[in-house]
Each structure stands twice: as structure tokens, then as C-alpha cells.
Amino acid sequence: MSLEQIRAECLHRGHRRLALLFMPAVLCVLIVLAGAWASAVLLFCTVSIILMLGTLVSSCAWFGPLVKRQPSGSKHPLLTIDDGPHPQHTPAILEILDRHGLKAIFFLIGERADRHPELVREIVRRGHEVGNHTQTHPATRFWALRPRAMWNEIAQCQETLTRIVPQHSPRYFRPPAGHHNPFCVLTARALGLTTLMWTARGFDGTLRNMNQVLSRIRRKLTDDGIVLIHEATPLTVELTEKVAAMLAARAAQS
């Protein structure tokens, strides 16, 4: 199937889901017209809660399959680094990972990759993997993207990264802020991508206290876990050093 055919099929399925989402609203209006206000409110609240939990809870797989941890039997936590590439942070991170003998998946933003293609090539040259983290990273409105905008975000990033490192096209997708509405996983799957979430994060995108961030990660660390940290935060370089040391020490003990 050509990419254009895949796009048409994906949008068709997305718009069918969108139409289904409007049905409870129509039903609510009909119930109100019939005078059963309480039933309409109950239906509205139930559907809203299902949509909210399915979209905003990062581990909730109601709207499509997510990979939430590595296969059982995995011996080492997987390190993933979101929001790069970054002209200062990416080279520093690569140096730290080399020093600790660690590999990672870098979930890159397409338009940042376009600005720094040499960093994307360097990530791959050092033996790491690049993942799709959307073209523009619209974190505050990603939860509300409709099928066409969702396709554009994920497909454009895939095209960008594949153009820069043609032999290392992303296999994994991670939604900004972990939000995945009913069209998100559908689109990623149509593009051949597995949606990869995480088990251990320290909220380094918002917290500024290194000890808090580290202890949150340490608490959730398991052998089959997936660790999430970010580029482009004030903590990035120091946090990467500390997390890499933590993972390397754990690997040395096993």
C-alpha cells in the first residue's frame, strides 16, 4: 500500500471514530428532550470520564495498544530521552552515555531534528536509536488533535527523521506529555510505529529539585522498566549523569 493509501485509510478510520464520539452527545440531547435530565447528566459524565482517563493517563491502553514496559526477563532498565535534539545537551548526553557504556532511545522532535540534522546522525553513529516524538511537539493541545492534525504531526516527524537517517527510520513513537486520544495510537500504528511509554519518570520537565526527581525515578526502577528523562531542561546534563551512573551501577551488580 502506498503512503497516500495508508493516509486515506487512517483518516477514514479516524473520522469514523470521531463520528462515534459525537453519538453520546446527540443521545444526551435526545434524553434531555425526553425530560430525563439525570440520565443525560449521568451519560455525559460517564463518557467524559472514559475519554479523559483514556487520553490523559499515560498507561491507559483503552484507545489502542501501548508498550508500557520491556518484555519480562529483561535484565536492564531501558533509558529513553525525550524532546531533543538540543545543540548543547545532546553532545553532552552522548558523551555521558559513552562513558557509562549505555545505549538509549532518543525521542526526537521533527522540527528540532531539521534544525540540527548533524546531531541526529551523531546519535545513530554512536549506536543509539531515534524515535518519533511528533513534528512540532504541541504538548498543551496534543490531547485534542483531530485525525488530520494527528496524522500530520506523526507522519511529518517520521518523514523528517527518515530523510536524515534513512537506514534508521524510527520504530517507536511517544506522544507529547504521554497524551493519547482515540486517534493517536491508530495513526502511529498505521505508520508502522509502536507506541512506547515508560515506567519510571521524575517529572524533570517541571520539577527543579534534583533529589526529588532522582528519588522518583529510583522508586520506580525495575529490570524490565523504561526510564524517561528530557533534554532541554535546566536539569538535563546533571540528571543524565546521575541516572546513567545509577543504571551503570545497577548493571554492574547484576
Q: Which is nearer to Zn ion, 82 or 153 (CB)?
A: 82
What is the amino acid identity at position 237?
A: V
The single residue of 100, 133, 137, 230 carrying the catalytic annotation is 230
Q: Which of 193, 119, 103 is nearest to 155 (CA)?
A: 193
Specify the length of the chain in residues: 254
Binding positions for Zn ion, rule: CB under 5 A: 82-83, 176
Residue nearest to Zn ion (CB): 82
**Shortest approach of Zn ion to residue 178 CB, angstroms?**
9
Q: Which is nearer to Zn ion, 7 or 174 (CB)?
A: 174
Compute CA 30 distance to the chain's CA centroid, rounded to the nearest angstrom.
Answer: 38
CA angle 226, 111, 202 (to 5 degrees): 25
**Shortest approach of Zn ion to residue 204 CB, angstroms?**
11
Is the peptide bond prior to 85 cis by the omega test (within 30 degrees of 0)? Answer: yes
Looking at residue 71, the DSSP 8-state letter turns out to be: P
Q: Which of 182, 194, 181 is nearest to 66 (CA)?
A: 194
**Shortest approach of Zn ion to residue 156 CB, angstroms?**
16
**Shortest approach of Zn ion to residue 1 CB, angstroms?**
30
* 180 belongs to the catalytic site: no
Q: Which is nearer to Zn ion, 76 or 116 (CB)?
A: 116
* 76 belongs to the catalytic site: no
Q: Are 7 and 155 in contact (CB under 8 A)?
A: yes
Q: Which is nearer to Zn ion, 31 or 135 (CB)?
A: 135
The single residue of 82, 83, 86, 180 carrying the catalytic annotation is 82
What residues are annotated to the active site? 82, 230
